[in-house]
Structure 1
């Protein structure tokens, strides 16, 4: 967590520091990211960073929390019970994610790069924990659907949760492969990941994946 000295900074300077390090970790993996490079672009002394954070990992985890909190302001109000089925809710999460991306491109780029960042060898343990937490969250969503008879009940929750988790990652891969969505390029241009109408292509792709997912998860698949 940041030290008290960081919290005492003026908001303008705090934002400048956060933005500079978000960009560094968005362009490079965790192991490749350089505090020296980031502070040089910010025009500050490297030693000053250690007045605000204990180390590189402390800074990185702070950025994860900050970006996740911003995204949560977009998706946090969505409640499953307000939607007729899980897939309508699932698509709504993506729609709010698009709004987050278009209005907070730097934070969005950082979260898009999170998968490659936490795959860095030096933080493998954090990667494993992150995946476990994410899969557990999907499992809870699926448990609700199974309990209410909306999803098939003949498969382990862990299998279904892992499949849904991997499918969500595949949607991002799909966009990059087929629709030229390239976060590494868009961040250099200071554009949102899904700028230039690519948000519409994303939602079209989500619809296509939902069509396939229905066949796998809905109760009739168990007939």
Structure 2
């Protein structure tokens, strides 16, 4: 966590440091990011950086707290707006909320995507017990829906949670490749249409039925 000295900084200076860090971490994997680049963009002395953070990993961990806090805002909107909805409708809206976050926070999303390609031990060092929480979230949602009779008894909930988590992570990459750097914010209707196509396959499968 940053030191109290960092939190005591004027708001504009704190934001300048965070903006510099976000730009660097969204552009390069962790082992290619340097303190020098960040302090140059933030326009602060090297000594000041170490008054605010113990090292580069400390700053990296703080960025993930920021990402988590911002994403929770999007997730909570789904929970508030879709209470009592069926399982697949809830999942669909969670995916759309995640995509909305990705559209509106592309640099933070890029940091998260780069992070997923890091070594497993390094990921655990950075976010510790937070890793796996997404899969746990889907598992608990599946468990509750199964108790309500919405889920087939033959479904392996652990495998289903893994599939939903993986699809969630892959969606943004799919849209990025499809629109090739275009502005997803201007394509919101098409984003919803594509998510619905994915859920059609999920619900109906790909085998033609008579």
Same fold (TM over 0.5): yes
**How far apart are the structure 1 equivalents of 2:49 and 2:153?**
51
Distance 1:205 1:82, change over 3 A: same
State whether structure 2 residue 103 is matched by structure 1 residue 113.
no
8 Å contact kept, 1:36–1:46:
yes
Structure 1: stretches of 5+ with no match in the other structure: 187-192, 217-223
Aligned match of 2:184: 194
Following superposition, the deviation at residue 21 of structure 1 comes to 0.7
Structure 1 residue 5, shift from structure 2 partner = 0.4
- After alignment, is 22-31 or 122-131 more displaced? 122-131
Higher relative contact order (CA 8 A, sep 6+): 1
Kindly indicate whether the alpha-carbon contact (under 8 Å) linking 2:29 and 2:114 is maintained by their aligned counterparts in 1.
Answer: yes
- How far did 1:33 drift? 1.7
CA contact (8 A) 2:99 2:172 kept: no
CA distance in structure 2 between the partners assigned to 1:155 and 1:101 by the alignment = 30
Q: Contact (CA 8 Å) 2:78, 2:97: kept in 1 or not?
A: no
- 1:63-142 to structure 2, matched below 5 A, reads 63-79=63-79, 82-101=83-102, 104-105=104-105, 108-121=106-119, 123-126=122-125, 130-142=130-142
- Give 2:208's aligned residue: none
C-alpha contact (below 8 Å) 1:139/1:161 kept by paired residues: yes
Residues 171, 205 of structure 1: 8 Å contact kept: no
CA drift at 1:156:
2.3
Mapped to 1, the partners of 2:145 and 2:190 lie a distance apart of 28
Length-normalised TM-score, structure 1 = 0.79
CA RMSD of aligned residues (A): 2.5
Partner of 1:20: 20
CA 1:14–1:30: 2 relative to 1, 3 Å? same
Deviations 1:57-98 (A, max 9, x none): 111111111122122223213228625312222232344445
Distance 1:154 1:207 in 2: 25
Which residue number corresponds to residue 209 of structure 1? 198
Mark the runs of 5 or more structure 2 residues left unpaired by the alignment.
206-210
Task: Give the number of equivalent residue pairs.
Answer: 202
Q: Is the 8 A contact 1:25 1:33 kept in 2?
A: yes
Q: How far is 1:129 from its partner? A: 5.2
| 1:176 to 1:17, Cα distance in 2 relative to 1, 3 A | same
Structure 1 CA distance for aligned equivalents of residues 111 and 191 of structure 2: 17
CA contact (8 A) 2:142 2:157 kept: yes
